Amino acid sequence: MAKQPSLVSLKQELADVTSLADPRLDVLATDSRKGAQLLLTQIKRRLNKQAEAEAAFQERLHYERDLWTMGKLVAGIDEVGRGPLAGPVVTSAVILPQSFDIPLVNDSKQLTPKERERLYPLILAQATAVSIGIGSSELIDQINIYQATRVAMQRAVLGLGIAPQHLIVDAMQIPVDLPQTRLIKGDAKSASVAAA
């Protein structure tokens, strides 16, 4: 009888499994060792988690996909952050290509600071255009935080360098002459807004 491979070697060999249909998992399923069964459970859990993340990501692209099928260039806009107490307010506008494929992009509040740092250069590398808009603390004092956020979002849209044909915005109406889809909690519903 042939000697079974070590659990360490099995773990290394199966690290690249991307589908529950992989025949190597059938072999693992027949391995009666407790460690082998634990490894199988871990792999299945990882693959199911990846499948759920991909399905959620595809759902977050549904607004963009509907607009893309109409030939529209879509920009997502969101507030990036506010300074402590005295401003400024910072916003971003992002145009994603139809080939965008970073499933982890989600509402930034759902991500760890480390994940956000890791995603930033990936989004910049795949995005068609990215722009930042800032509303200074002086502007906030003059017109209030809500209005300053709208102005900062307007600046982000106008700074894209490529003119979008439709905006997906997290809850606000931006003072630009473009059709807009306003979403409550837009960063959890739209990949473009989440990328912004």
Per the structure, how many domains does the chain have? 2
Are 43 and 68 in the same domain?
no
Are 154 and 130 in the same domain?
yes
Are 22 and 118 in the same domain?
no
Virtual torsion, Cα 58, 64, 67, 72, nearest 10 deg: -130
Are 166 and 153 in the same domain?
yes
Are 141 and 44 in the same domain?
no
Are 97 and 115 in the same domain?
yes
Per-residue pLDDT of the chain (196 residues; tens, 9 = 90+): 567 888 888 888 888 888 888 888 888 888 888 988 998 899 899 888 888 888 888 888 999 999 999 999 999 999 987 655 667 899 999 999 999 988 888 877 788 889 888 989 999 999 999 999 999 989 988 999 899 999 999 999 999 999 999 999 988 899 999 999 999 888 889 999 999 8
Residue 2 falls inside a structural domain: no
Instruction: Please report, for residues 5, 39, 56, 65, 164, the alpha-carbon distance to residue 73 in angstroms, rounded to integers and kept in the order given.
Output: 53, 45, 22, 10, 5
Residue 82 falls inside a structural domain: yes
Residue 148 falls inside a structural domain: yes
Are 108 and 42 in the same domain?
no
For residue 97, the SS3 value is coil
The whole domain housing 41 covers 7-58
CATH number where 74 lies: 3.30.420.10
Pair 17, 24: CB distance under 8 Å: yes
Whole-angstrom Cα distance, residue 7 to residue 136?
58
Whole-angstrom Cα distance, residue 193 to residue 19?
30
**Can you read off the two tokens belonging to residue 137?**
């603390």
Instruction: Kindly report the pTM of this predicted structure.
Output: 0.79
Are 54 and 66 in the same domain?
no
Could you tell me which residues come within 8 angstroms of residue 99 by beta carbon, excluding any fewer than 6 positions away? 126
